[in-house]
Structure 1
Amino acid sequence: MNSLAVRTIDAHGGLDRYRKFSSLTARLHHTGLLWALKGKAEVLTNAEVRLNLRQEEVSHGPFRPTQNRSRFTPEEVTIVTPDGTAVETLPNPRGSFAGFAMETPWSNAQLAYFAGYTMWTYLTAPFILAQPGVVSEEVAPWSEAGQTWRRLRVTFPPDIATHSREQTFYIDEHGLVRRHDYEVEIQGNNAAARYLLEPVEVQGITLYSRFRIFPRNLDNTVADAPLIVGVDLTDYHFK
């Protein structure tokens, strides 16, 4: 890792402390236009997320109006009932999005794939920078809202499911992540910027209470509207 990646990880609690934990749970409240656009307006509006911190595995639930949950890995997504019965299975989930655009509807399993890799990327960052195969380099700083943020250009290996191979993290003077840019490959490569708001310390690790995602313009500025996705997070707990 380069020195900025190390500094950022240390500012969020440090790799040694983070690696003592194997899982993370949280409560989610979703807003934004994406969910209705995909035909899933109420499915995961209020849900619980469970992350495996040692490998890319995530579960969301309930998938309203049922009590079903998802089991996500990069290779397969399954929707299961409370007793564990599979009601929907999607092998090679990323391949199922071929030709999709921003407005293309999703199945529940496709929603689970998007929500799974998204929250694993978001909630393991910046510690994900220490994952095998992840390469980061510092690039030119960026000034926004009267502040100047250092930037990390990150390239992810093919075995990590995420928005796009190349992403950019913006780091403030305290080492905290303030903005995160990417292209959403599975819905037509639309360019987006995620803002990380209201940091909170959880068992010695710094996480964020709110994410707000907006379209990113060609000049790298961010549009004020529409709000693509909003995520409010509570009840964080590491184990």
Structure 2
Amino acid sequence: MNDLLSKVLEAYGGLDRWNGFSELAVKSATGGPFWPSKGIPENHGWGNVTIKTAQEWTSIAPYDAPNHRMTFTPTRVAIEDYDHQLVEELRDPRASFAGYGPATYWDMMHRAYFNGYALWTYLATPFLLAMPGVRTQEIAPWYEDGEVWRVLNVVLPETLASHSAEQNFYFGPDYLLRRQDYHLELSGNAQVAHYVSDYVEAQGLRFPTRRHAYARGADGQPDRNRLLVWIRFDDFRLR
């Protein structure tokens, strides 16, 4: 483990503390023009999100209907009712996006897959960077908002679903994440600069409560006039 990642994990409360919990539950709300571009109406209401800490697994309830729950893993997405009756499932979900571009509409199961891996990634950061198979390397620093941000280039293994295998994570002088860059493989490789802020502490661990994703230019600068997605998190509970 490199020196920067060690300091980051400590700033967030420590890897041992994170590994002492099996699940994280939060309330989440989202919006932004990205959703209508996929044929999905914006929904600003709060939902209940649960992730597992030791593996990529996400559950969201309610989902699509008041009595439905979505469960995500990288190889399968399923929607069930509250009596555990299967409503719909999608196996090998990544492959189902083949040929999809920025203007391609998504159905309910495509949206479920995207929500599942994205929320797990956001909520498990930075601890997922210490998981087996994840490669990290510190690269040149970045200057923004009057600060020097240290940058980790990250390559995720094929077993972890995310926006893209290679991403950059920017950490401020306090070793908390400021920004995350990736490209949306599921949407024509759109370049994204994703900002996080407004940290809270829950049971000895720190989490950002606000996220804003913007289109990113070839020079690495965000286009603040092109907001894609915003996310709010609240009521963090670890168990």
Q: TM over 0.5, yes or no?
A: yes
Distance 2:21 2:65 in 1: 32
- May I ask how many residue pairs the two structures share in their alignment? 239
Q: Which residue of 2 aligns with 1:25?
A: 25
Structure 2 unaligned residues grouped into runs of 5+:
none
Paired AA for residue 37 in structure 1: S
RMSD across aligned C-alpha pairs, in angstroms?
1.2
Identify if the C-alpha distance between structure 1 residues 45 and 187 changes in structure 2 by more than 3 Å, giving closer, same or farther.
farther
Correspondence 1:88-167 to 2 at 5 A: 88-167=88-167
Q: Distance in 2 between matches of 1:197 and 1:227?
A: 16
In structure 1, C-alpha distance between the alignment counterparts of 2:155 and 2:97, rounded to whole Å: 22
CA distance in structure 2 between the partners assigned to 1:34 and 1:62 by the alignment? 21
Using the alignment, how far apart are the partners of 1:31 and 1:130 within structure 2?
Answer: 30
Q: TM-score, normalization: structure 2?
A: 0.97
Q: How much does 1:45 deviate? A: 4.4
CA contact (8 A) 2:32 2:42 kept: no
Alignment match, 1:81: 81
Residue 6 of structure 2 corresponds to which residue in structure 1? 6
Unaligned 5+ segments in structure 1 are: none
Aligned to 1:228: 228
Instruction: State the TM-score, normalized to the length of structure 1.
Output: 0.97
In 2, Cα distance between equivalents of 1:174 and 1:144: 14
Give the superposition deviation at 1:114.
0.3
How do 1:49-64 and structure 2 match up within 5 A?
49-64=49-64
Partner AA of 2:178 in structure 1 = R
| Deviation of 1:99 (Å) | 1.0
Sequence identity (%): 39
Check conservation: 1:214, 1:223, Cα contact below 8 A.
Answer: yes
Structure 1 segment 64-75 matched on structure 2, within 5 A: 64-75=64-75
Mark the CA change 1:65 to 1:78 in structure 2 (over 3 Å): closer, same or farther.
Answer: closer
Does the 8 A contact of 2:29 with 2:46 survive in 1? yes
State the distance in 1 between where 2:183 and 2:69 align: 27
2:34 corresponds in structure 1 to: 34
Greater Cα shift, 95-104 or 150-159: 95-104
1:44–1:63 Cα contact (<8 Å) kept = no
Question: Counterparts of 1:50 and 1:31 in 2: how far apart (Å)?
Answer: 19
Give the whole-Å Cα distance in 1 for the aligned partners of 2:44 and 2:59: 12
CA distance in 2, matches of 1:74, 1:64: 20
Instruction: Output one character per residue of 1:135-175: Cα deviation in whole Å (capped at 9) or x when no partner.
Output: 10000001112211010000000000111110000011111
SS in 1 for 2:116: helix
1:128-207 mapped onto 2 (5 Å cutoff): 128-207=128-207
Structure 2 residue identity aligned to 1:102: P
Amino acid at match of 1:111: R
Instruction: State the alpha-carbon separation in 2 of the partners of residues 78 and 10 from structure 1.
Output: 35
- Gap change, CA 1:85 and 1:68, over 3 Å in 2: same
> Does the 8 Å CA contact 1:44/1:62 hold for their aligned counterparts?
no
Cα deviation, residue 44, structure 1: 7.4
Cα pair 1:31 1:45 within 8 Å, conserved: no
Q: Distance in 1 between matches of 2:101 and 2:69?
A: 26
Distance 1:166 1:26, change over 3 A: same
